[in-house]
Structure 1
Amino acid sequence: MKIATWNINGVRARIDNLIAWLKESQPDIVALQEIKCQDDAFPRLEVEALGYHVETHGQKGFNGVALLSKMRPDEISRGLPGDDTDEQSRFIEGVFSVNGGVVRVCSIYLPNGNPAQDPAKYPYKLAWMERLSRFAEDRLALEEPIVLAGDYNVIPEPHDCWDVKVWENDALYLSPTRQAFRRLENLGFTDALRATTDETPLYTFWDYQGGCWPKNFGIRIDHLMLSPEAADRLVSADVEKHVRNWEKPSDHVPVVAHLAM
């Protein structure tokens, strides 16, 4: 089973790229972030024509997540538990039957948190990460293959960015951010990509500004985090970097993992 995550940066603006990539890559389940549209505006007919089921948790103009799958999900949950006042569309969870068992996949668009000095934005990021850890700990009790897939807006280690001095005061790299990410790992979740390679540099995002793509001034912020039951089934993981060369690309590229399900 091939499971992918991709911050599409506006699904209507990138629909041609999404369709081309689905045809080329043939993922079984895709976690999309930043669809930037309400549910009824998602270009589902184009995606469904390729044989994918579409579930969305959209928001007008920004945020928004989705799950695309070759099989119909058994269950769908929208919104990260723990704060009924949070109206931002950043989380969707699907449960899928596979060969007599299940796999649980979440699409996550974790808050950016910048500027870190903002009295609301960075605390919201950290509070969201704490809620995610509580959710993840609860789901671990199910002892199922779980994939927490998405744009985490977290640079885990110095080698995950092109120049740590550029990022050291950024909300994506600050110590509390990385500590919160480490708590997720300490619960028992495995970074699929780093479990399969020590390659550096290895990035998933390149800003549109300053020639970052041709200079390879990138960062790794898109992650597939696997529960122990999913990590035991991990065969390989990769960054499909070539997609960044396409016309009108997202500033992120897909990250994929193959699980023996």
Structure 2
Amino acid sequence: MKIASWNVNSLNVRMPHLKQWLGTAQPDIVALQETKLEDAKFPDTDIAALGYRCVFSGQKTYNGVALLAREMPVDIVTDVPGLADPQRRILIASVGDLRIANLYVVNGQEVGSEKYKYKLDWLARVTDHLGNEAAKHKNLVVLGDFNIAPEDRDVHDPVAWHEQILCSTPEREALKRVESIGLVDSYRHFDTEGGKYSWWDYRQAGFQRNRGLRIDLVLASDALRPRLAAAHIDLEPRRWERPSDHAPAILELNA
């Protein structure tokens, strides 16, 4: 089984890319972030024609998350208790024997800002809920655009990014608390080297110079460790014309 996370940075713009990628990569489950579409405008009919059922939680212009799967996701959660957030950033559902939590984590703007404080509070509240999900569902996958590079080896220039947004110590500690509910970073499970990224700035030829960050993660519960088969980042869609600034992060599970 192939599970992917991809921040498409506008599904309207990237729909041709999604169609092409689904046809070649053939994932079984795909979590999308930054769809930037109201629910009434989500292209679920077009996606169904490609062999995927989908659920989504969107808004106009910003944010938006969706889950595509070969079978219909059920038991949907789009808001967590104690978090009054009108932004559509959370989508949790069951697909077969898996519980999938798709997150588009708050960016935070700048260390010390109000948005940064909100990011840390948002993560704390979401982590509490994920702990409850983990208690109910042993086969839990938490994936998405975390807007946090876990370690310096996930950053092209750790000195320049030191204690900056996406790389600050409080953000990394918040991510560790997410993992502490019993989750493993599937990519790092297979690849311990640095220099592999999932996001590159459009400016200054960031992708061409590999000046990126690994902020798109697929975390799997301890119960799934025996089923972990492979994990990688698919760079090909980032090479296409008018690409998203993110590349898909992929986990493969044995049956």
Q: What interval of TM-score do these two structures reach, taking the shorter chain for normalisation?
A: over 0.9
Q: How does 1:186-225 map to 2 (within 5 A)?
A: 186-225=180-219
Matched, 1:33 2:17: no
8 A Cα contact 1:158 1:164, kept in partner: yes
Aligned partner of 1:108 among 74, 94, 103? 103
Percent identity between matched residues is 38
Write the letter of the residue equivalent to 1:43.
Answer: P
Q: What is aligned with 1:44? A: 44
The whole-number CA distance in structure 1 between the counterparts of 2:76 and 2:108 is: 27
8 A Cα contact 1:115 1:122, kept in partner: yes
Q: What is aligned with 1:145? A: 139
Matched, 1:174 2:174: no
8 A Cα contact 2:99 2:137, kept in partner: no
SS in 2 for 1:232: helix
Write the letter of the residue equivalent to 2:43.
Answer: P
8 A Cα contact 1:114 1:170, kept in partner: no
8 A Cα contact 2:185 2:219, kept in partner: yes
Matched, 1:93 2:88: no
The whole-number CA distance in structure 2 between the counterparts of 1:142 and 1:238 is: 28
Q: How many residues align?
A: 255
8 A Cα contact 2:140 2:220, kept in partner: yes
The whole-number CA distance in structure 2 between the counterparts of 1:209 and 1:229 is: 41
Deviation at 1:143, TM superposition (A): 4.5
Matched, 1:62 2:62: yes
The whole-number CA distance in structure 1 between the counterparts of 2:89 and 2:104 is: 5
Cα RMSD (Å) of the superposition?
Answer: 1.1
The whole-number CA distance in structure 2 between the counterparts of 1:214 and 1:39 is: 35
SS in 2 for 1:111: coil
The whole-number CA distance in structure 2 between the counterparts of 1:21 and 1:255 is: 13
Deviation at 1:137, TM superposition (A): 1.4
8 A Cα contact 1:80 1:92, kept in partner: no
Q: TM-score, normalised by structure 2?
A: 0.97
8 A Cα contact 1:75 1:96, kept in partner: no
The whole-number CA distance in structure 1 between the counterparts of 2:151 and 2:194 is: 11
The whole-number CA distance in structure 1 between the counterparts of 2:6 and 2:224 is: 19
SS in 2 for 1:13: helix
The whole-number CA distance in structure 1 between the counterparts of 2:215 and 2:99 is: 21
The whole-number CA distance in structure 1 between the counterparts of 2:206 and 2:4 is: 24
Q: What is aligned with 2:234? A: 240
Structure 1 residues 149-206: Cα deviation after superposition (integer angstroms, max 9, x where no partner): 1000001101101001221232211110001111122222100000011132110001
SS in 2 for 1:93: strand
